[in-house]
Amino acid sequence: MYVRGPCSVISMPKTRNAKSTPSRPRADLAVIGGSGLYAMEGLERVREARVSTPFGRPSDAVVLGVLAGRRVAFLARHGRGHRISPSMINYRANIYALKSLGVTRIFSVSAVGSMKEHIHPGHLALPDSFLDRTTKRASTFFDQGLVAHVAFADPVCPVLTAQLAEAARALGVMCHEGGAYLCMEGPQFSTRAESRLYRHWGVDMIGMTNATEAKLAREAEICYATMALVTDYDCWHESESAVSVEGVLAIMRRNVEQAKKMLRHVIRQPTPPVACACPTALRGAILTAPEAMTASVKRRYRLFLKAPPAGASNGRA
């Protein structure tokens, strides 16, 4: 069904019928925008896809368009208007919706607090690891009749992260490469005791969303990299005032502009060759025997089951 408006709105049918959709929009590359980044400027031939998934509804319609000749998808993590809190985001539907549209690479943009003196508010950071302290959200697709254990030692895609680092150097953006991102449940910010503890653990930044997205992107065999926008020093810093929404928003407006420049730079670059294990993360990771999968399980995991079946030898549980 097509609805005319400022741009075309495409209601995607249930995924099992998706192949028959006329003029099905596709995109290889996606941007998930967090706090402060609710739209991608410069997209042409814009359409919106409202995607139904076996995991529920995504945060918003996926906006599809063309930028520098490349098909790009954009999804507002919290929904346009910032309606959905970190705990209530349907991360599974978001990642599944992008996968169903053909996305193989996700650049994630999100605000973080700095846990290190030298990572100043206003800087950007490219974490290469996560510490997941969330408790209230689904962080795996594989919870109903299908068991899979993907490798997650290196949770972000090295190829995409290198592209972001190159963009930062080319544009003269202050960007820290590497570091551990602690993902807290929120929505409250940390207590001072928590903040001091996390610093003792050696983490570099703190946020509320990206570990969950990274886990699901890996299970979906999508390359995923985080562009973290540093907005504050959490509340551990002795001479800087504790984090507040007002302070975060003021800094965020400035570094969202830098993030947009970096994304436009990356999107204009040629697609790098596949030199990572993300697209084959499920190879040998599904332990459930095909004959033990019900028809409904096969439907639910249709997009995941092209991977070669079980290699039971790598099971741990």
- CA–CA distance, 131 with 306 (Å, rounded to integer): 30
Choose the stretch contacting Zn ion; rule: CB under 5 A; options: 81-89, 128-136, 256-264, 278-286. 278-286
234 is catalytic: yes
What's phi and psi for 87, nearest 5 deg?
-70, -25
Does 220 participate in binding Zn ion (rule CB under 5 A)? no
3-state secondary structure of 300: helix
The least CB distance from residue 159 to Zn ion, in Å, is 5
Residue from 10, 278, 281, 287 that binds Zn ion (CB under 5 A)? 278
How many residues sit in the footprint of Zn ion (CB under 5 A)? 4
111-170 positions binding Zn ion, by CB under 5 A: 157
Report which of 70, 63, 77 is spatially closest to residue 270, judged by C-alpha positions: 70
Q: Does 214 bind Zn ion (CB under 5 A)?
A: no
Cβ closest to Zn ion, residue 146 vs residue 278:
278
How far apart are CB 220 and Zn ion at their closest, in Å? 12
Closest listed residue to residue 51, CA positions, set 86, 9, 110: 9
Write down the catalytic residue from 128, 132, 204, 232: 232
Q: Does 223 bind Zn ion (CB under 5 A)?
A: yes
State the Cα–Cα distance between residues 52 and 116, nearest whole angstrom.
41
Tell me how far apart the alpha carbons of residues 188 and 183 are, in angstroms, rounded to a whole number: 13
Specify whether the CB–CB gap between 35 and 58 falls below 8 A.
no
Beta strands in 139-276 (DSSP E): 175-177, 180-183, 205-207, 223-232
Does position 203 interact with Zn ion (CB under 5 A)? The reply is no
Q: Which residue, 36 or 155, has its beta carbon nearer to Zn ion? A: 155
**Residue 295 beta carbon to Zn ion: minimum distance, rounded to whole angstroms:** 32
Does residue 101 belong to the site contacting Zn ion (CB under 5 A)?
no
Active site residue 204: no
In whole angstroms, how close is the CB of 278 to Zn ion at the nearest point? 3
User: Residue 285 Cβ, how far from Zn ion at the closest point, in Å?
Assistant: 15
* Stretch of 183-191, 244-252, 259-267, 268-276 contacting Zn ion, by CB under 5 A: 268-276
Residue with smaller CB distance to Zn ion, 13 or 272: 272
Pick the closer one to Zn ion by CB: 109 or 230.
109
Q: How far is the CB of 30 from Zn ion (least distance, A)?
A: 13
Q: Which residues contact 157 (CB under 8 A, 6 or more apart)?
A: 105, 223, 224, 225, 276, 278
Six-digit token string for 143: 């919870």
**What is the end-to-end Cα distance of the chain in Å, rounded?**
45
- Closer residue to Zn ion in complex, CB, 225/252: 225
Catalytic-labelled residue, pool 128, 132, 204, 234? 234
Question: Tokens 């209601």 sit at which residue?
Answer: 11
DSSP, collapsed to helix, strand or coil, labels residue 223 as strand
Phi, psi for 306 (deg, rounded to 5): -80, -15
Q: Rg of the chain over CA atoms, in angstroms?
A: 19
* Active centre residues (catalytic): 232, 234
Q: Which residues bind Zn ion (CB under 5 A)?
A: 157, 223, 276, 278
